[in-house]
Structure 1
Amino acid sequence: MQTNFSLVQLANPQIAEADKILRACVHCGFCTATCPTYVLLGDELDSPRGRIYLIKDMLENDRPASREVVKHIDRCLSCLSCMTTCPSGVHYMHLVDHARDHIEKTYKRPLHDRAIRAMLAHVLTNRSLFRLAAVGGWLARPFAGVFAAIGLTRIAAMVRLTPASIPAPASDRGRMVSPATGVRRGRVALLGGCVGPVLRPSTNEAAIRTLNRHGIEVVIAEGEGCCGSLTHHMGREEQAFAQAKGTIDAWTAELEREPLDAILVTVSGCGTTIKDYGHMFRNDPAYADKAARISALARDVSEYLATLDLARATVQPLNVAYHAACSLQHGQKIVHAPKELLSKLGFVVKDVDEGHLCCGSAGTYNILQPAIALRLRDRKVGNIEKLQPDVIAAGNIGCMTQIASGTTIPVVHTVELIDWATGGPIPEPLARIEGINPGGASAG
């Protein structure tokens, strides 16, 4: 693609990066076939190619974002399916992130839109506030239909996404160390996170048990908090970078205390952002090296477990529909490890039709774009239910929550099944189902 940025514009590192990305695009349109919003809506401007043209025009002319541009950029899920499809290696993720930053700085949204975005950015990334909001959502669940009927569709979406029960608070005592069982064979840090500990603390608990059982010491670093992913993809760069810096500092301090083999993440959306810290902070002299070091150590939990010799216990060979989270398969290019781990441990893993398409979660997307998100969820659930699985496994809390809101099939994190199959307790959603033997006690 030909670009026409001035030399003054190209002196800006962000514009120079955008120019490089835009020039890589050859207009082929392969991305349209795998873009969820284009598949649903059929509008060229709701495809990656169409959005690239909009971004190019906006940045080249150095003008504020228009209402039309905002509409189509907001509809992008950042699922990154286009990056998997693109034969030219166009780094759409960095381009759309820059566009969102530009929108946030140059476009004044309607008051109600600004209010809900500010609320999401501050509540979802604060564990205490989010727990209060989740309890409120749980109490309001019976009124979701009323909210939708009076036009409060985003409030209705938030309420519908609230789990039927809120787990007890996870332990939050600053720095925590879970020692390895037996001889220590490794040492890792685990991202505690913000959303996961409220909606599904069992995920990190399962990861810690599995790692400890196989000789890996696990530490949650003091001062570690939100990774900045949610706010980064909302274009709120100042907040996102501040959150990321806090987490980088916490892990750097832990590294200085004692080396780490890896930094593990059980939420793939967070993992994609953490692996990109090196790029995000490349122009920050104070953080460039530290951020690159953290990115180099970051691993999805399934990615790391695939390097271990896991001890198999006796569990039922359940049929598992594996949902490939976009941030895992497209963002991190981790496709085979989760399925291979489950298969080796005795589960019957089934691929879901249209597995490349997003479920509609996408961070805050299922709240900010509820109509499109609901259509994507129903399409995903329909493809899953055709398999008639015993359980659905996924590697991202957002996907788990989104899919669970549309089906009665139990949804668990991949690591919860791995934990069970290597001697841990049966995942709680499965324990409630008649006919499933808890198993998992006798390692073989």
Structure 2
Amino acid sequence: MQTNLADFIKDTPEGREADSILRSCVHCGFCTATCPTYQLLGDELDGPRGRIYLLKQMLEGQEVTAKTQLHLDRCLTCRACETTCPSGVRYGRLADIGRGILEKRVRRSWLQRVQRLALRKLMAYPQRFWLLLGLARLVRPMLPATLRGKIPPKSPAPSWPPERHARRMLILDGCVQPSMAPSINAAAANVLDKLGISVIRAEQSGCCGALSYHLAAHDEGAAFMRRNIDAWWPHIERGAEAVVSTASGCGVMVKEYGDVLKHDPAYAAKANRISALAKDIGEILAEEDLSRLQKPIARRIAFHSPCTLQNGQKLNGLVERLLSSLGFELTPVAQPHLCCGSAGTYSLLQSELSQKLLVNKIQALEKGGPECIATANIGCWAHLQSKADVPVRHWVELL
């Protein structure tokens, strides 16, 4: 694709990166076949090819309006288009760059500004979110059905194994998971303990930065990344083998720290090191001898592979192979590449589209008659359990 970027962007690092991505696109249209919003809406501008065209117009200095913003807001950033694209177009990165610029050029309504600010200032801070969740549980009967279903009951504090092994790994606590589903990281810690690996929760670490970054608050998101790097670095210097994530959405963000902070002279090298050490819990278990784990009672499971696991981390099929090798029976799931509609804050900001995707996903997951649905991301977990007729668990809890 030929480009002619405007003066305001062409000589900046982001401009050069965006230009390179745009030039790699040949507008073949293969991406539209796997785009969830294009399938729902049938509008070229609600598919990757159309959105790339809108971003190109903006970066070339043409007028942008709330219509441009609407079509980009409707994008899930599921990155299924990246997996399909024969030219390797980094659409997700282009969308992030474009959203950051668009946010400064098109003023949102006061309601949208309040919504997005509230999400960033409440959900990204574990203590604030814990208080918010506690309040939500008190008023749960009065909330709209779409919100009511997302509020899990309070669970007892899970048990963590002591740090007793020579092998050590850091684990990302994140922002909402410690309050919504503390059993997930505890399950990972106990599984790794059985394999001779101690799990470390670093003080002062927190949100991975994805929530702010994908809401176009790039500086704020980068600040969360730097804080995590500072919290993890002493442990890495003492030999921690990996930074483990049980939330695939957080995991893909940490793997991109090096990319986001590559122009920061104080953090670029450390960010690259962190990204190299970042591993999904599935990647860790795939490299270990799992014979020490107790074989589970055979059960039928429908596995929902999050977009961030399939398309972001390129680990499609990894968890399915692990579960099958451990004796679980996986039921067939039609169109497993389609997003469930969670997509971080998408289910709150684009609830109508999100609910349509959720209904379709639940039908596909439950059609095979599973005893439970397993997934690999806290956002997908919360979204799926709001509608599912069978229990929804993180897959590592089943081990």
Q: Please state which band the TM-score falls in when normalised by the shorter chain.
A: over 0.9
In structure 2, do the counterparts of structure 1 residues 348 and 122 end up closer, same or farther at CA, with 3 Å as the change threshold? Answer: same
Deviations 1:67-111 (A, max 9, x none): 011100000001010000000000001100011111222221111
Which residue among 307, 310, 319 is the counterpart of 2:287? Answer: 307
Q: CA contact under 8 A between 2:331 and 2:369: conserved in structure 1?
A: no
Deviations 1:97-149 (A, max 9, x none): 0111112222211111111111111111111111121122223332234xxxx
Matches within 5 A, 1:39-50: 39-50=39-50
Which residue among 269, 278, 286 is the counterpart of 1:298? Answer: 278
Q: Give the deviation of 1:337 after TM superposition.
A: 1.9
Name the CA distance, whole Å, in 2 between partners of 1:351 and 1:399. 19
Q: Give the letter aligned to residue 37 of structure 2.
A: T
Q: Which residue of 2 aligns with 1:440?
A: none
Matched, 1:131 2:111: no
Q: Which residue of 2 aligns with 1:434?
A: none
Matched, 1:14 2:14: yes
Q: Which residue of 2 aligns with 1:158?
A: 147
Q: CA contact under 8 A between 2:245 and 2:279: conserved in structure 1?
A: yes
Name the CA distance, whole Å, in 2 between partners of 1:170 and 1:118. 32
Q: Which residue of 2 aligns with 1:103?
A: 102
In structure 2, do the counterparts of structure 1 residues 170 and 316 end up closer, same or farther at CA, with 3 Å as the change threshold? Answer: closer
The DSSP-based 3-state class of the residue aligned with 1:217 is strand
Q: Give the deviation of 1:220 after TM superposition.
A: 1.1
Q: Give the deviation of 1:169 after TM superposition.
A: 6.0
Name the CA distance, whole Å, in 2 between partners of 1:359 and 1:105. 30
Name the CA distance, whole Å, in 1 between partners of 2:148 and 2:138. 9
Matched, 1:122 2:110: no
Consecutive unaligned residues of structure 2, counting only runs of 5 or more, are none
Matches within 5 A, 1:187-206: 187-206=168-187
Q: Give the deviation of 1:416 after TM superposition.
A: 0.7
Q: Give the deviation of 1:6 after TM superposition.
A: 5.2
Deviations 1:153-181 (A, max 9, x none): xxx64343212x1234679xxxx99424x
Name the CA distance, whole Å, in 1 between partners of 2:76 and 2:261. 23
Matches within 5 A, 1:31-42: 31-42=31-42
Q: Give the deviation of 1:218 after TM superposition.
A: 1.2
Matched, 1:167 2:147: no
Q: Give the letter aligned to residue 54 of structure 2.
A: L
Matches within 5 A, 1:3-402: 3-5=3-5, 9-61=9-61, 65-145=64-144, 157-163=146-152, 165-168=153-156, 178-180=162-164, 184=165, 186-256=167-237, 258-310=238-290, 311-402=292-383
Point out 4+ residue stretches in structure 1 off by more than 6 angstroms.
none
Deviations 1:417-437 (A, max 9, x none): 12xxxxxxxxxxxxxxxxxxx
Name the CA distance, whole Å, in 1 between partners of 2:173 and 2:135. 23
Q: Which residue of 2 aligns with 1:409?
A: 390
The DSSP-based 3-state class of the residue aligned with 1:292 is helix
Name the CA distance, whole Å, in 1 between partners of 2:370 and 2:208. 33
Q: Give the deviation of 1:227 after TM superposition.
A: 0.8
Percent identical across equivalent pairs?
44
In structure 2, do the counterparts of structure 1 residues 190 and 7 end up closer, same or farther at CA, with 3 Å as the change threshold? Answer: same
Q: Give the letter aligned to residue 391 of structure 1.
A: C
Deviations 1:359-404 (A, max 9, x none): 0000000000000000000000011111110111100010011011
TM-score (norm 1): 0.86
The DSSP-based 3-state class of the residue aligned with 1:161 is coil
Consecutive unaligned residues of structure 1, counting only runs of 5 or more, are 146-155, 419-444
Deviations 1:213-241 (A, max 9, x none): 11002111121111101111111112101
- Report the number of matched residues: 398
Name the CA distance, whole Å, in 2 between partners of 1:178 and 1:96. 42
Name the CA distance, whole Å, in 2 between partners of 1:19 and 1:351. 41
Name the CA distance, whole Å, in 2 between partners of 1:8 and 1:194. 35
